[in-house]
Amino acid sequence: MKKNILLVIIAVIVCAMTSYAQGRKGLYINEVMVQNDSSSVIDDYGLYHAWVELFNSTYAPMDISSVFLTNDPAQPKKYPVPLGDVKTEIPPRQHVIFWADNEPNKGTFHLSFRLEPGIDNWLGIYDADGITLIDSVTVPASLAANYTWARETDGKSGWEVRDGSDAKYITPSSNNIIVDTNSKVDMFAEKDASGVVMTLMAMAIVFSALLVLSICFYIISKIGEKVSKVNKIKAQGIAPEELPKGEKINDSGEEIAAIVMALHEHLDAHDQETTILTINKVKRAYSPWSSKIYGLRELPRR
């Protein structure tokens, strides 16, 4: 029993470590602005600074505390994301911005380095060991002021310059492609205006799920019945191969209970109980200390 518990604990730890590692791999550098002079993006102090947007591409919250951000591959631990800040947990499929202002004393999201305009700026994210590179990007030196170097789609390969126009809008803390319509919804609205097909699909899914559950429960009950029968054969000291063909083993207590009730009704049998009562006389030992003839005060003599 203890061995099984230990194996379960080890399996849980391995799964947790695996999901943790996979979760960090889902962290991406999503958009970068090297020179921020007059854009509408300002930090929490109302100042214009270069910024780096990170994106959590997974469908689970991701805590990025203890990862490292750097602009120098020779110094992978240049800026460690501090522990203890609840804002370092990025919700599923969401973004967070770090300010490259070389002023880390201003808060968790202010990096300890700056980005230099006019040169290629390399950026990297390292895991907590300071060795594993999670993601990196090189921002070209040709990037103009107030422009961003952004992924065409969040977390996907393919980069482009965003100039803030209607076609190439800048999206800090937001999806790089803002979707205002749903193609599937539009298709259903066009081809199934009454909703009959959607209703039939929903009912088919529900009944299919119920059918699968019924089959699973039936199989589980049969397996349990077989295991119970084997255990009862072993309890009777009979090897399974020694059991004659066609002979059944009672699988539940229902048959036994029915036989007992039938015998009870037929024989009206009851347990024999004795009705002898034993009464012993209780004697109390006399003690002058407890006698009522003695009082604490004497009556006055007349």
Task: Indicate the SS3 state at residue 240.
Answer: helix
Residues 6+ apart with CB under 8 A from 198: 188, 192
Taking residues 295-301, what's their average pLDDT? 61
Residues 6+ apart with CB under 8 A from 212: none
pLDDT at 166 over 50: yes
Q: Is there a contact between 231 and 205 (Cβ–Cβ < 8 Å)?
A: no
Identify which has the larger pLDDT, 285 or 150. 150
Taking residues 127-144, what's their average pLDDT? 95
- Split at pLDDT 50, 70, 90, the class of 282 is low
Q: Is there a contact between 262 and 254 (Cβ–Cβ < 8 Å)?
A: no
Rounded to the nearest angstrom, the gap between the alpha carbon of residue 65 and the centroid of all alpha carbons in its chain is 18
Q: Is there a contact between 149 and 161 (Cβ–Cβ < 8 Å)?
A: yes
- Split at pLDDT 50, 70, 90, the class of 209 is very high
Predicted confidence (pLDDT) per residue in 13-33, tens digit: 544 554 444 457 899 999 999
Query: Which pLDDT value is given to residue 204?
Result: 95
- Split at pLDDT 50, 70, 90, the class of 48 is very high
Sign of CA dihedral 219, 222, 226, 232: positive
* 78-87, 128-137, 162-171, 291-300: least confidently modelled range: 291-300
* 28-32, 208-212, 238-242, 255-259: least confidently modelled range: 238-242
How much of the chain exceeds pLDDT 90, in percent? Answer: 50
Predicted confidence (pLDDT) per residue in 222-247, tens digit: 898 888 777 777 776 766 666 666 55
* 58-62, 65-69, 272-276: least confidently modelled range: 272-276
